[in-house]
Structures are given as C-alpha cells and as structure tokens.
Amino acid sequence: MNRGLTLPVVQFKTRVRDDSINGPNPFRWEYFSSEKVFGSQKNPRRVVVFSLPGAFTPTCSTFQLPGFEKAIADGEFEKFGIDDVYCLSVNDSFVMNAWAKQQELQHVKVLPDGSGEFTRKMGMLVDKSNLGFGMRSWRYAMIVRDGVIEAFLPEKGIMDNCDYDPYGVSSPENVLKVLEQL
C-alpha cells in the first residue's frame, strides 16, 4: 500500500450496545462501511488506524494498544486533526469488544475484521499457523484522510509464519513523528 491509494471498500461487522434490548446480552449487529469509518470525499475524516496480529496478545496488550490509548488521552493526536484512532485486528467483534472492556478503553475504537476481508485487500493478511493463530494481520499503522492513505507504516519483514513479532514502526510514538512530518 502506498501513499495516495484509496482504501478498499468493505463492511465491518460489529456488535454495539443497545439499551433498548433487555437481557444479559444487550447488543445488536451493526455494519459499518469502510467509507464511514475512514472517510471519503463526501464524508471528510482524518483517522489513524493500527492493525495487529491479535487481541489479548502480549505486544498488542502491553505496548501498542495502551500506548495509543494514552497518547489520545494526553491530546497528542488531537493537535493533528485526527478524528478517531482505530485498532483493527482479524478477530471477531465479540473478541474485540471483550478486549476493549478488559483494556478499559475510553478513546481507541476497536474494529473487527473477523473474516480478514479488509486485511486481505490491504495485502497484509499473513499465515500465523506456527503460533496457532491461522490467518492474521501483519502489524502496521496508517494515517488516512478521506479514505486515502497519507502514510503507510508496516513493520519490516512481512511474511507467513514469522517466528518473531516486529514492533516499532507502527508504535504510537512513531505515528506521532510521522504526523509531525506531514
């Protein structure tokens, strides 16, 4: 993916809380188009997206997600006109919502790509069967304006069954440095 490319159009299938639903599971399905999430010429938005191999995994839960959450809380992204920061993973909505609750997220929005459709269309779907994961996202971040990539920041060495977990290029600290340069 290169700067200036328009993001693929997909439907993200999410579960959202609906207080009009009684019972122990007050959630309903809601589909969000990638154009609604990432913006378009008709829906101007500037967002940061970071994608990672899996909810509840060590690097994702210890560094990347909490780092973005803290940076947003500290106002670091607001000064660059960022409307939202999304954490995307090839996990279903139930897993992503449980992870968001466990992480006590207030600012980062989780975006489930349960079937991996968006990740595949981005060219970032990799096999992680060596870790028992199956098909997952390679770790990357991007800055998107109106559905068009401003900066694409993949971790080095994209490959199937990678035996290490590269992290740094897609960190909140690096994304903020790139925003300063844009």
3-state DSSP percent of the chain in helix, strand and coil, to 5: 30, 30, 45
- Of these residues, 7, 37, 55, 60, which one is catalytic? 60
Q: Look-up: residue for tokens 């970032």? A: 124
50 close to 59: Cβ distance less than 8 angstroms: no
- For residues 92 and 129, is the Cβ–Cβ distance under 8 A? no
Is 60 a known active-site residue?
A: yes
Residue 10 CB-density burial (10 A; 0-12 exposed, 13-18 middle, 19+ buried): buried
Dist. CA 45–CA 63, nearest whole Å: 26
What would the two tokens of residue 171 be? 């960190």
Both tokens of 71, joined, read 């940076």
What's the token pair of residue 60? Answer: 């994702």
Q: Is 90 strand, coil or helix?
A: coil
CB-CB contact of 106 with 73 (8 Å): yes
Point out the residues that are catalytic.
60
